[in-house]
Amino acid sequence: MKKTIISTLLGSTLALSSGAAFAKDDIKIAVLMYGMKAEFVQLMQQAAYDHPLVKSGEVKITMYDGRYDALVQNNQAETAIRTNHDAIIINPMDFDANIDVVDMANDAGIPVIVTNARLNTDQMTAEVVSDDVEGGYLEAKFIMEQIGCKGNVVILEGPKGGSGEIQRGQGNEKAIAECPEGAVKVLERKTANWSRAEGMTLMENWLMKHQGKISGVIGQNDEMALGAIEAIEGTGDSVDNYVIAGIDGVTDALHAVKSDKMTSILQDANGQMQGSIDVALRHIIGEQYKPTSKVWQQYADQLNWNNGLSKRYDIPWTVVNQQNVDKLLEVRK
């Protein structure tokens, strides 16, 4: 049946390239998000619905909330396959446990695109991600430069076992290792599960335990870094006494950058999701499909469409600073 669907779509590819309409339910893509609470994931969700062919009704998106449980995501993949979706896009919760989604999709002959986070396999159709090692390096490098490569830092980690925690941690360590040996000490590192509330609680405990000794706070995402800021301000201390960095470029973090409270390494939710949809459509429809999202023009000098056949697409990071933060905030309005 899948071959019949693809064959039919190949015969009507001009419907996409010319903008002519075709039946709403011709193409169905399942999007498996690890959870829907965080703003960054919500930005990805909105980006999916804003894709030109989704907005026009020519492509239907089914959005699944994985509820921060790898097993739930695996079960949702089974549902997507059983209900004849033409492709699966997964933002995986777990680096290893969600490999099952790739295996199931491959067995069913369905393209599977991994986005945002990574999986410990190369058997997916493609990945549309940002290099988390680089992201972790950029945020930690900023802190190392600001503290002059001397002092003590704490690291708020992502959920254990997720690719973000693993690879951003590798980037953090790489930046710290560029300082003279022993010049920078990591006083604490513990997961706050991407949560602002958990980040605040951890930071409150560390502030009490290491009074006056913490120079820098590395948050492997913005939410945890923002929680650390709340903890610092809650004690009556000033964030001016700390160098704080996070990753994602969520709206509150952009405002915090504007207020000189932290820096953020913006991860492009729109680029990752809309790029994933374009790659999925290329593998559903065939070589006649031309990408319709703007991501390929936005990063034309860094991102090569390659006829939709690359195994991995890296969406570039943007370091948020005083020069670009207003423009980035304007986009969120």
DSSP for 167-178 reads: HHHHHHHHHHHT
**pLDDT at residue 317 is higher than 60:** yes
- What pLDDT sits at residue 25? 52
Domain final residue, candidates 226, 247, 266: 266
Give yes or no: residues 284 and 273 share one domain.
Answer: yes
Distance (Å) of CA 91 to CA 26, 63, 95, 304: 24, 11, 10, 22
**pLDDT at residue 14 is higher than 60:** no
**pLDDT at residue 168 is higher than 80:** yes
User: Residue 332 falls within a domain, yes or no?
Assistant: no
Q: Hey, CA dihedral for 36, 42, 44, 50, is it positive or negative?
A: positive
**pLDDT at residue 8 is higher than 50:** no
User: Residue 329 falls within a domain, yes or no?
Assistant: no
- What pLDDT sits at residue 263? 98
pLDDT classification of 304: cutoffs 50, 70, 90 = very high
Phi/psi class of residue 67: alpha, beta or left (left: φ > 0; alpha: ψ in -120 to 50)? left
Starting from the edge strand earliest in sequence, which strands make up the sheet with 243-248, in order?
A: 184-191, 151-157, 216-219, 243-248, 263-266, 318-320
User: Residue 319 falls within a domain, yes or no?
Assistant: no
91 DSSP β-pair partners: 33
User: Residue 326 falls within a domain, yes or no?
Assistant: no
**pLDDT at residue 13 is higher than 80:** no
Give yes or no: residues 41 and 26 share one domain.
Answer: yes
For the stretch 243-294, pLDDT in tens is: 999 999 999 999 999 999 999 999 999 999 999 999 999 999 999 999 999 9
Rounded Cα gap, residues 243 and 262, in angstroms = 7
Give yes or no: residues 19 and 48 share one domain.
Answer: yes
Local structure of 191: helix, strand or coil:
strand
Give yes or no: residues 94 and 12 share one domain.
Answer: yes
Q: Is 6 exposed, middle or buried (0-12, 13-18, 19+ CB in 10 A)?
A: middle
How far from each other are the two terminal CA atoms of the chain, in whole angstroms? 43
For the stretch 119-159, pLDDT in tens is: 999 999 999 999 999 999 999 999 999 999 999 999 999 99
User: Residue 289 falls within a domain, yes or no?
Assistant: yes
Rounded Cα gap, residues 251 and 327, in angstroms = 12
Give yes or no: residues 289 and 232 share one domain.
Answer: no
- What pLDDT sits at residue 283? 97
Give yes or no: residues 191 and 86 share one domain.
Answer: no
The domain that holds 309 is classified in CATH as 3.40.50.2300
Q: Structurally, how many domains does the chain consist of?
A: 2
Give yes or no: residues 155 and 232 share one domain.
Answer: yes
Tokens at 324, concatenated: 């670009």
Tokens at 196, concatenated: 């602002």
Local structure of 268: helix, strand or coil:
coil
- What pLDDT sits at residue 51? 98
- What pLDDT sits at residue 161? 87
Q: Which residues of 193-211 are buried (b: 16+ CB within 10 A; e: fewer)?
A: bbbbebbbebbbebbeeee
pLDDT classification of 23: cutoffs 50, 70, 90 = very low
pLDDT classification of 26: cutoffs 50, 70, 90 = confident
Give yes or no: residues 139 and 177 share one domain.
Answer: yes
Tokens at 267, concatenated: 């991860």
Residues with Cβ within 8 Å of 214's Cβ and at least 6 positions away in sequence, in order, are 152, 153, 154, 187, 206, 207, 242
User: Residue 322 falls within a domain, yes or no?
Assistant: no
For the stretch 188-207, pLDDT in tens is: 999 999 999 999 999 999 99
Percent of the chain at pLDDT exceeding 90: 90
Domain final residue, candidates 209, 236, 266: 266
Give yes or no: residues 120 and 171 share one domain.
Answer: no
For the stretch 65-91, pLDDT in tens is: 999 999 999 999 999 999 999 999 999
- What pLDDT sits at residue 65? 98
Residue 225 lies in domain: 132-266
User: Residue 323 falls within a domain, yes or no?
Assistant: no
Phi/psi class of residue 331: alpha, beta or left (left: φ > 0; alpha: ψ in -120 to 50)? alpha
- What pLDDT sits at residue 2? 40
Give yes or no: residues 49 and 105 share one domain.
Answer: yes
Helix 2-11 and helix 269-285, axial crossing angle in degrees, nearest 10: 100
